[in-house]
Structure formats: C-alpha cells, structure tokens
C-alpha cells in the first residue's frame, strides 16, 4: 500500500515519550495532520478550542493497514479540503465522521 503520502512518523521527529500537547504544537506549527488511535488528541482539541492541527483518529480494534488502511486513505482523500482547513476526522469500520474545527467547548470528542 506504500506510505500514502505520510510525511513523517513522530518517532522520527521527537521524543518517544513526548507529551501529547507537544506533538499537537509541532503538528500545528508544521501544518501536519495527526493520525492517531489515541482519543487524547481529540480531547485536546475540544479543551483548547483548537483550530489546528487537524486530527484523524482511527477507532478500530485492528488498526493495521491491512485491516483499515484503505478506508483511512479513502477518507483522507475525500476530506482533504476540510483537513487542510482544520477538522477532526474519525474513521471506524462502520462509518466516517467529520467535525470542523474549532469544536464547540461543550462537545465531547
């Protein structure tokens, strides 16, 4: 399946044990999209009312590229404009959900 345009994995950019806000700040400063299985990143967006970086969270038990990779790549292509502007994209085996940033403060991810 190739790298599908993935620019960098955090392990190549920063400390393995970096706190999530550091990863978010780096992604925002460098116009990256955070692709994660961790719900903490969407919680940070909600708590900070952040407009960037966009976050794509994969909600599946099996997050291997063979299991959900095609669905994630299709969602990235389909929502490219929204992700460039700032969005939270949730991809799970049954659906894809997009919320534009900033998230309302009372909305839970």
- The structural domains of the chain, with segments of one domain joined by +, span 10-100
Contact of 53 with 24, CB cutoff 8 Å: yes
Mean pLDDT score of the chain, rounded to an integer?
Answer: 90
pLDDT at 20: 95
pLDDT at 105 over 70: no
pLDDT at 66: 92
Count Cβ atoms below 10 Å from residue 75 Cβ, excluding itself: 21
Tokens for 62, please give them: 């099996």
6: left (phi over 0), alpha (psi -120 to 50) or beta: beta
Sheet of 55-58, strands arranged across: 34-36, 55-58, 87-92, 95-100
pLDDT at 7: 75
pLDDT at 32: 93
Q: pLDDT higher for 22 or 1?
A: 22
Coil, helix or strand at residue 95: strand
**Residue 8 confidence class, pLDDT cut points 50, 70, 90:** confident
Question: In the predicted model, what is the mean pLDDT of residues 92-96?
Answer: 94
Percent of the chain scoring above 90 in pLDDT = 78
């Amino acid at each position: 399946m190739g790298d599908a345009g993935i620019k960098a994995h955090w392990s190549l950019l920063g400390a393995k044990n970096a706190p999530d806000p550091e990863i978010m700040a780096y992604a925002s400063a460098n116009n990256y999209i955070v692709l994660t299985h961790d719900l903490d990143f969407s919680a940070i967006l909600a708590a900070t009312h952040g407009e960037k970086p966009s976050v794509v969270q994969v909600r599946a038990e099996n997050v291997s590229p063979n299991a959900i990779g095609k669905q994630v790549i299709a969602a990235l292509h389909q929502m490219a404009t929204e992700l460039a502007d700032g969005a939270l994209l949730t991809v799970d085996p049954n659906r894809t959900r997009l919320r534009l940033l900033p998230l309302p403060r009372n909305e839970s991810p």
